[in-house]
């Protein structure tokens, strides 16, 4: 019931200022975000990889409204890629980027600005022995993001993308991206989407997730199963078993701070388990989406406000 309100708040500058500057918010944010700077993020990477988990790193930022900020976001990712290379972490750590942080929504050529900013990051990732996955944002960005993916994959075929099962179009997108060499993270979707483009009932989103899993796991690409849902994890395991997929032919992904014992359990069973680790100062939109996903997260936040 609170989900749509929180997702609307995620895009409100006024509420952003209020929540971001409230000191009480910080301990709750720390549950989901691995610090503000690169060094803290790298400490988290070392600790997670030492426990058998792989990572994908997100330098927080989205909905960039000016070109300079888009370049600053690009530079943050370049610094991250260089740090991963210096630490020899390329085999365990990849990077996730939001194209709106790179200028995708800027008027007058946002799509091209985003490509110009993301390309050097993808090159730096390859030099560091790793790769980039393009996060998926709201439905208005999907065509542009998949077109950027196409361009990037021409030079860097290992570049990945995210597909969201709540969108009606996604089964077709899964079919188009189930081929050799493609890397797709399947998620349910985290934005406030209208009934004209997306399923509104959780049961329909879940059923679509299973259909998409079938398409991706039956294909010849590398599926990345992004969910905390025990039912979806079990379905993916069963489908993989039936389809003869080995443990290194797909992976599970979960968000930092969510279901950690399940992350470790899957890794201990021999699955590749990748943790999505966000860091940086621009945590507001990410944080609000986590609150919207789960009433228990919202309750934790409200209780921490009440006890201050």
Would you count residue 222 as binding ligand FAD (CB under 6 A)? Answer: no
Is residue 255 near ligand FAD by the rule CB under 6 A?
A: yes
* Residue 277 touching ligand FAD (CB under 6 A): no
Q: Is 211 in the site for ligand FAD (CB under 6 A)?
A: no
Give SS3 for 162. Answer: strand
Q: Is 95 in the site for ligand FAD (CB under 6 A)?
A: no
Q: Is 245 an annotated catalytic residue? A: no
Question: Which part of the chain contacts ligand FAD (CB under 6 A), choosing from 72-80, 119-127, 173-181, 220-228?
Answer: 220-228
| SS3 call for 304 | helix
Integer Cα distance of 170 and 127 in angstroms:
32
Binding to ligand FAD by residue 276, rule CB under 6 A? yes
Q: How far apart are CA 273 and CA 71, in angstroms?
A: 31
Single residue of 53, 81, 125, 162 touching ligand FAD by CB under 6 A: 162
Give 252's contacts (C-beta < 8 A, 6+ positions apart).
224, 225, 226, 227, 233, 236, 263, 266, 271, 272, 273, 274
Beta-sheet strands, E only, within the chain? 54-59, 93-97, 132-134, 160-164, 183-187, 222-226, 251-255, 272-279
Catalytic one of 74, 92, 153, 185: 185
Q: How far is the CB of 186 from ligand FAD (least distance, A)?
A: 9
Exactly one of 62, 94, 173, 293 binds ligand FAD (CB under 6 A); that residue is: 293
Annotated catalytic residue: which of 54, 58, 74, 135? 135
82: Cβ contacts below 8 Å, ≥ 6 apart = 124, 128
Q: Is 155 in the site for ligand FAD (CB under 6 A)?
A: no
Known catalytic residue: 135? Answer: yes
Residues acting as catalytic residues? 135, 185
Residues contributing to the site for ligand FAD (CB under 6 A): 135-136, 162, 164, 185, 187-191, 226-230, 232, 253-255, 258-259, 276, 293-294
């Amino acid at each position: 019931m609170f989900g749509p309100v929180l997702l609307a708040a995620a895009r409100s500058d006024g509420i952003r200022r209020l929540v971001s500057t409230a000191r009480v918010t910080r301990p709750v944010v720390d549950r989901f975000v691995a610090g503000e700077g690169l060094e803290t993020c790298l400490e988290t990477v070392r600790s997670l990889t030492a426990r058998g988990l792989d990572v994908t790193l997100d330098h927080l930022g989205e909905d960039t409204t000016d070109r300079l900020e888009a370049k600053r976001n690009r530079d943050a990712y370049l610094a991250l890629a260089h740090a991963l290379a210096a630490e020899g972490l390329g085999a365990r750590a990849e990077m996730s980027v939001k194209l709106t942080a790179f200028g995708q929504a800027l008027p007058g050529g946002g799509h091209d600005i985003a490509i110009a900013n993301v390309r050097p990051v993808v090159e730096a990732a390859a030099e560091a022995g790793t790769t980039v996955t393009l996060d998926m944002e709201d439905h208005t960005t999907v065509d542009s993001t998949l077109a950027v993916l196409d361009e990037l994959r021409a030079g860097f075929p290992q570049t990945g993308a995210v597909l969201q099962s709540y969108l009606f179009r996604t089964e077709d997108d899964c079919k188009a991206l189930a081929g050799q060499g493609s890397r797709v993270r399947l998620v349910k979707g985290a934005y406030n989407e209208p009934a004209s483009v997306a399923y509104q009932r959780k049961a329909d989103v879940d059923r679509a997730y299973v259909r998409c899993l079938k398409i991706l796991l039956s294909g010849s690409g590398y599926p990345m199963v992004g969910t905390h849902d025990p039912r979806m994890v079990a379905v993916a395991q069963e489908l993989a078993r039936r389809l003869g997929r080995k443990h290194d032919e797909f992976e599970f992904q979960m968000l930092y701070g969510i279901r950690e014992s399940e992350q470790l359990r899957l890794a201990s069973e021999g699955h590749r388990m990748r943790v999505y680790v966000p860091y940086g100062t621009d945590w507001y939109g990410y944080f609000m989406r986590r609150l919207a996903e789960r009433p228990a997260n919202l309750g934790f936040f409200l209780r921490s406000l009440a006890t201050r």
